[in-house]
Chains A and B, each alone.
Chain A
Amino acid sequence: MQHKLVRVLMVVVLLAMFSSLAAAQDKAVVTWGFWGSPEEAATHTSVAEAFMEANPDIEIEIWHQPWSDYFTSLDTLWAAGDGALIPDVLFLSPPIRYAARGVLEELTPYIEAHDYDISDFWPGLLEYGTTYDEDGTRRIWGFPRDIGLEVLYYNKEIFDEVGVAYPTDDWTWDDLLAAAEQLTVVESTGRVSRYALGMEGGKFALFVLQNNGGLLDDMRNPTTCLLDSPESIEAVEFFAGMMDNNYAMRSANLGQAGGDAAVFQSGQVAMIIQNASRVSAFNAAGMNYDVVPVPIPADGQRAAAAGGAAWTMSALSDDKESAWTFLSWLQSTDGGQGIYTASGEILPALESTALSEAFLGSEENPADPPANRMAFIIEGRNAKPGGRVAYFPEWGEINGNYVRPVMNEIWAGEAVPAEVLPGVCDDVDAYLAEMNAG
């Protein structure tokens, strides 16, 4: 009797082992590569778990690297050229640079085959992951997960303390300057103990485009530099002037002081102009703050940049259909978009997700600060392709060699915009002429 029981048990155990083995073999495995802090990685992991629950036949294997070395690791994998090691779905920015290297799978055929709705992206955002052939054929290589547009963050406690009215959605540059004058505190020694504004110099193109200026005439097929136009020069002068008057922290000081989020949290600046990525840190620190759209010149325009790191598919993936299933799920309100948005880390790439409870909250389930989340929606609806976002690979070289070094001199107070910007444009124009000729 006992023997029989043991035999039956053995058979049951063996059967169970075989069936679980068979199940493991049936499962498709999609490797998913992303960067992120421990907190962001935890959100990514919960996204993977939610996906596996909804799609039991696909297993997600995580390939997580620290931000600073994500691209080093990835470059090594690409150089080794082993498709089995390269993650099937990858977080990349800017996607078209990698598309040009031939390491990405084009998503357009999958979008068409599966009727994936691309109209839900913010205006122009998808352009960030798109290239065009000479005959005009559109090729999509990546889905931006979020849109990195900026809003004006302000510290309510400082505004209350000084007695300045809070910023509003229709603030202009003049309102910003008037408030800045009151918010800045210069000690008798000449040291500035509080600046009104902290904004990285590298974001200057926001002001340029708000003022109807520009970087280049066309951000896909450029021929001319626009930084020497009167509108561009006026915008650069506006920003440089804020630094000269101690209203805005000089870019180098900002970097040394730990960046805009750090100085905003420590109360060294009253306002910053930055994207949604800082929200979770400010909430964790219990800050009393809110946001408004970025102030614009009286006759200017909103100039949110339509760009954000994107989900892409490896050209060497060995199971592209499963990779697509995961990728398209990541980019849906009920899937990844909703989870990331609810975590408070991003402003989602899809307008419907931004307008959902996940971002705006509801009466029963109010969203975390900032209260004026509609500021992000206002900027999102006015986002434009091009302008500040370049869609050609040489931009990195142009910016690094000709634009950034001179702009840094301006932000350091060592150069006058009207004197140096024409020279920048001469260099850029010469480079573009050579680029277009060859």
Chain B
Amino acid sequence: MATTTGTARAGSDLPQVVREPVNRTHVALHVLLIAGSAVMLLPFFWMLSTSLKYPPEIFTYPPTWIPNTIAWDNYPNALTAVPFDRYYLNSLIIAVSVVFLQLTTSSLSAFAFARLRFAGRDKLFTIWLATLMIPFPVLLIPNFVIVRSLGWYDSYQALIIPPAFSAFSTFLLRQHYRGIPLEMDDAARIDGASSFRIWWQIMLPMSKTTLAAVAIFVFLGSWNEFLWPLVITYRDEMRTIPVGLSKFQGQFNTRWELLMAGAVTAMLPILIVYMMAQKWFIRGITITGMGGR
């Protein structure tokens, strides 16, 4: 193409445009990235497409990407077949509370592990970190029994308090705190600041990006959590979105169109949170990649 354009223009008096040679690596990289994002986006589009189809069209062969008749009523149907507004409210209350509580507990404990000196600190941290190795299903029944004995079965406490503590968040924040020069603490201590004040007035303001990244992870985790809310609640008033959505999967029939419409609706807050905090989200991924710092 470039050659033909060049030849056509050769006769004119205009100075010839000299193009920078196309960087082949860049092109290849972009082709690869576009292909990658297409693979990532396909399931999303399929979900969107299925959410707008009437049941007979969902499994037709060859499959249709754009529904022949757009079934807008799947959305109101999905949202009214189950008390979706209640599920939404519950998921929001729980996710926001867990984010707030977990950031508080994790940043405090991370501060202690990173900046305070006390006997057995590193051993304690190793033990705390080792709890990450225990898969959740192993903890399910002990947690259930504890929560039940506290009288919290089928309550907000059961959904909010146990996930308010996290070794993973503590670990991320501790790594960040360790990167802040110790001179900051010393200077503050000379001025008479207590440990708590150092945490509140020095460490927290200097960790905004990391806190935001951790907050996004925690929000995502809480929003998508399935097993714990499933077993610890039973009334519809206490259910969350993922548990509510699974009701569309029956023993003999799955209402795919309603399930997908519900899933699209359930995704919106995640999408909004992601768009608002994209910068921090990507930074969060970078942090996890540098775990050993």
If A72-B227, A76-B141, A82-B148 touch, whether A41 touches B247 (CB-CB below 8 Å) is yes
Stretch with Cβ within 8 A of A (4 or more), from B6-14, B58-66, B107-115? B58-66
Contact residues in A for B247 (Cβ distance below 8 Å): 37-38, 41, 66
Contact residues in A for B47 (Cβ distance below 8 Å): none
B177 within 8 A of A: no
Contact residues in B for A68 (Cβ distance below 8 Å): 246, 249
A220 within 8 A of B: no
B144 within 8 A of A: yes
Dominant secondary structure at the B interface = helix
B145 within 8 A of A: yes
* Cβ–Cβ contact A257 & B140, under 8 A: no
Q: Which residue of B lies closest to A87 (CB)?
A: B234
How far, in whole Å, are A79 and B148 apart by their CA atoms in the complex?
A: 12
1/0 per residue, CB under 8 A from B, across A80-107: the answer is 1010010000000000000000000000
A263 within 8 A of B: yes
B181 within 8 A of A: no
Stretch with Cβ within 8 A of B (4 or more), from A161-169, A277-285, A297-305? A277-285
Q: Which residue of A lies closest to B149 (CB)?
A: A82
Contact residues in A for B144 (Cβ distance below 8 Å): 76, 79-80
1/0 per residue, CB under 8 A from A, across B143-167: the answer is 0110010000100000000000000
1/0 per residue, CB under 8 A from B, across A239-273: the answer is 00000000000000000011101110111100000
Which one, A40, A263, A265, contacts B250 given CB within 8 A? A40
* Cβ–Cβ contact A67 & B249, under 8 A: yes
How far, in whole Å, are A40 and B255 apart by their CA atoms in the complex?
A: 13
How far, in whole Å, are A76 and B247 apart by their CA atoms in the complex?
A: 19
1/0 per residue, CB under 8 A from B, across A15-43: the answer is 00000000000000000000111111100
Contact residues in B for A278 (Cβ distance below 8 Å): 252-253
B180 within 8 A of A: no
If A85-B148, A262-B59, A266-B59 touch, whether A37 touches B255 (CB-CB below 8 Å) is yes
* Cβ–Cβ contact A63 & B234, under 8 A: yes
* Cβ–Cβ contact A258 & B61, under 8 A: no
Which one, B153, B231, B252, contacts A261 given CB within 8 A? B252
CB distance from B53 to the nearest CB of A (A): 11
Q: Which residue of B lies closest to A267 (CB)?
A: B56
Q: Which residue of A lies closest to B154 (CB)?
A: A85
Dominant secondary structure at the A interface = helix
Contact residues in A for B248 (Cβ distance below 8 Å): 37-38
Q: Which residue of A lies closest to B145 (CB)?
A: A80
Which one, A37, A69, A85, A266, contacts B253 given CB within 8 A? A37
B251 within 8 A of A: yes
* Cβ–Cβ contact B230 & A36, under 8 A: no
Which one, B56, B145, B246, B253, contacts A66 given CB within 8 A? B246
How far, in whole Å, are A67 and B140 apart by their CA atoms in the complex?
A: 20
A64 within 8 A of B: yes
Within A47-88, the residues touching B (CB, 8 Å) are: 63-69, 72-73, 76-77, 79-80, 82, 85
Contact residues in B for A73 (Cβ distance below 8 Å): 230-231, 234
Contact residues in A for B153 (Cβ distance below 8 Å): 85
* Cβ–Cβ contact B246 & A69, under 8 A: yes
Contact residues in B for A67 (Cβ distance below 8 Å): 249-251
B274 within 8 A of A: no
Q: Which residue of B lies closest to A79 (CB)?
A: B141
Contact residues in B for A277 (Cβ distance below 8 Å): 251-253
How far, in whole Å, are A36 and B248 apart by their CA atoms in the complex?
A: 9
How far, in whole Å, are A36 and B255 apart by their CA atoms in the complex?
A: 12
B211 within 8 A of A: no
Contact residues in B for A77 (Cβ distance below 8 Å): 231
Contact residues in A for B61 (Cβ distance below 8 Å): 193, 257, 268
CB distance from B172 to the nearest CB of A (A): 30
How far, in whole Å, are A39 and B255 apart by their CA atoms in the complex?
A: 11
CB distance from A252 to the nearest CB of B (A): 14
Contact residues in B for A69 (Cβ distance below 8 Å): 230, 243, 246
* Cβ–Cβ contact A258 & B141, under 8 A: no
Q: Which residue of B lies closest to A31 (CB)?
A: B234
How far, in whole Å, are A62 and B199 apart by their CA atoms in the complex?
A: 48
Contact residues in A for B249 (Cβ distance below 8 Å): 37, 66-68
* Cβ–Cβ contact A76 & B231, under 8 A: yes
* Cβ–Cβ contact B246 & A281, under 8 A: no
How far, in whole Å, are A267 and B247 apart by their CA atoms in the complex?
A: 27
How far, in whole Å, are A68 and B145 apart by their CA atoms in the complex?
A: 23
How far, in whole Å, are A261 and B243 apart by their CA atoms in the complex?
A: 25
CB distance from A329 to the nearest CB of B (A): 22
How far, in whole Å, are A126 and B148 apart by their CA atoms in the complex?
A: 36
CB distance from B242 to the nearest CB of A (A): 10
Within B25-56, the residues touching A (CB, 8 Å) are: 55-56
How far, in whole Å, are A265 and B55 apart by their CA atoms in the complex?
A: 8
CB distance from A85 to the nearest CB of B (A): 6
B82 within 8 A of A: yes
* Cβ–Cβ contact B251 & A76, under 8 A: no
Contact residues in A for B125 (Cβ distance below 8 Å): none
Contact residues in B for A41 (Cβ distance below 8 Å): 247
Q: Which residue of A lies closest to B153 (CB)?
A: A85
* Cβ–Cβ contact A266 & B251, under 8 A: no
Contact residues in B for A82 (Cβ distance below 8 Å): 148
Within B237-293, the residues touching A (CB, 8 Å) are: 243, 246-256
CB distance from B255 to the nearest CB of A (A): 7
B81 within 8 A of A: yes
**8 tightest A-B CB contacts, nearest first:** A37-B250, A258-B59, A66-B246, A38-B81, A76-B231, A277-B252, A67-B251, A262-B59
The contact sample of 15 A-B pairs, CB cut-off 8 A, is A38-B82, A65-B230, A65-B234, A69-B246, A72-B227, A72-B230, A72-B231, A73-B234, A85-B148, A257-B61, A262-B55, A262-B58, A266-B57, A277-B251, A277-B253
Instruction: Please give 19 more A-B residue pairs, beta carbons under 8 A apart, in addition to A38-B81, A63-B234, A268-B60.
Output: A37-B253, A65-B230, A66-B246, A67-B251, A68-B249, A76-B141, A76-B231, A80-B148, A85-B148, A85-B153, A193-B61, A257-B59, A259-B253, A261-B252, A262-B55, A263-B59, A265-B56, A266-B60, A278-B253
